Amino acid sequence: MTHGMPILRVRGVALIVSNPRREVLIIQELQTKPHLGKYAGMFSPPMETSHKGEPDHSVIARLIDEELPGLANFITVESERRGVYRIVPRVWVSLYAGHIQDSLLPTPDERSEEEIGGYTWMLPKDAITLWLRQGAREMLSDYIKNKSGAVCRHCCPPAPLETSVPL
């Protein structure tokens, strides 16, 4: 319950950005929001919650602006959705892929530094070994397999922190 109203359904997008070396951009969560399956210290591809009725392409643009500052003119996003993932009950995330022609990292600003940090490029097979936000492991695994049209109704809870490999 939030503000006396039940949470019906939350939508969002995730964006796996790759560079020419086939590495993906991984961020570290700085805030804990259990209702969204994330805890401070976890890693994931960039993700953003949708506003009611907001189309995915608009959410992706906002995600790039807010979570990947300075990269808006360098990322090319594929138009086709790669998959959809129920990361926690009532929270569904659509996965998209994007590409960047260099290994630029975002230039964090005060907005983005409050929620995320630790931007790094890594091979997807290495990213899977991190302490990942719920749903991120399935997204990265499907990305590695170049799977399109994935539907994951039950994402696995994250492994305990002590079993994950630090950056």
Checking DSSP bridges between strand 47-49 and strand 43-44, what pairing results, if any? unpaired
pLDDT band at 55 (very low <50, low <70, confident <90, very high): very high
- pLDDT-wise least confident of 1-5, 8-12, 17-21, 47-51: 1-5
Tokens in use for 129?
């070994």
What confidence tens digit (pLDDT) does each residue in 102-125 have? Answer: 988 888 766 556 788 889 999 999
**Sequence-ordered strand ranges (E) for 42-131:** 43-44, 47-49, 75-77, 83-88, 91-100, 116-122
Domains, the chain, with CATH or none: 10-157 (3.90.79.10)
